[in-house]
Amino acid sequence: MAPSGSRSMKRGCQRVLYWIPVLFIALIVAWSYYAYVLQLCIESIEDTGEKGKFVYLLLYHVIFIMFVWAYWQTIFTQPMNPLEEFHLSYSDKELLEREDRGESQQEILRRIAKDLPIYTRTNSGAIRFCERCQLLKPDRCHHCSVCDKCILKMDHHCPWVNNCVGFSNYKFFMLFLAYSLLYCLFITATDLQYFIKFWMNGLPDTQAKFHILFLFFSASMFSVSLASLFIYHCWLVCKNRSTLEAVRAPVFRHGTDKNGFSLGISKNLRQVFGDEMKYWPVPMFSSLGDGCSFPTCLVNLDPEQPSSPTEYNHGEILH
């Protein structure tokens, strides 16, 4: 009982610690709201008049709401796990446990995978199997050691959202990067003239001047890091790759192919954001598919599998 209680306490402490980066971001955002709205717009801006203040505050709040909405969705959208059909049945588990030779186990896994839309393999050409979750991994699925579960189309585990970024929330993550970058750029652009006044002693000697100074520095620094991250993920979306696939290309039956899931830029964008462009900027789920199977540009080279991976998912064969 003692070791079990100790492990439970350790897991509880880890769960609390995992929220520290999220709390840090929340505090930064809360301070930026106070500094921009109260200290800059209400207390310091005088040369633009009431109309100028209103425009600044209106644009700021629109960006702020979209940014917080996307961040919330990224944090609290549960990652999707493989469907029940990918889990081993009780009889299959017993059969697998009785076999001690790797090749015999692979024969069993190949038999189970025959009726599933699985087209990727391990580097050695074996069926991708998760011993921890006791399931056959769908294409683009990976086991997260932090969440301790298999995540569909896993991109990475992000400490800044305390969540796995995968099929269910990758669109939200992209919008979070976009709106947070826009948020920082807007603050930097509108705070610039008052930042210059600070160095020219053109601002009243109040606490607002220090908030304006640090607001500009923090927003501009965050803009640089967010821009690089956002551009990188835009490149990944256009190539239809996850971060993990960019590091290690997926292996198909015929071999490694880094562009195996790429359908062209337009279709790659729709895979993440959906068919209707009016929903692209909205933090609501609109990605295509079920996360367990994906269309591919490859001709099917596995005679043991269904006729085409694209037929299974979208009924569209791409050669």
Give the residue numbers annotated as catalytic, written as ranges.
Answer: 158
CA dist 62 → 65, 146, 183, 230 (Å): 5, 34, 10, 20
Lookup: tokens for 251: 């292996």
| Beta-strand relationship, 156-158 and 163-165 | antiparallel
Number of H helices, E strands in the chain: 10, 9
Handedness of CA 205, 208, 212, 213 (dihedral sign): positive
Helix (H, G, I), strand (E, B) or coil at 131: coil
Beta bridge partners of 149: 144
**One-character DSSP codes across 150-188:** EETT--EEETTTTEEESTTTHHHHHHHHHHHHHHHHHHH
Q: CA dihedral defined by 271, 275, 276, 282, rounded to 10 degrees?
A: -20
Beta bridge partners of 255: 252
CA distance linking residue 15 with residue 85, whole number of Å: 30
CA distance linking residue 261 with residue 153, whole number of Å: 12
CA distance linking residue 236 with residue 249, whole number of Å: 12
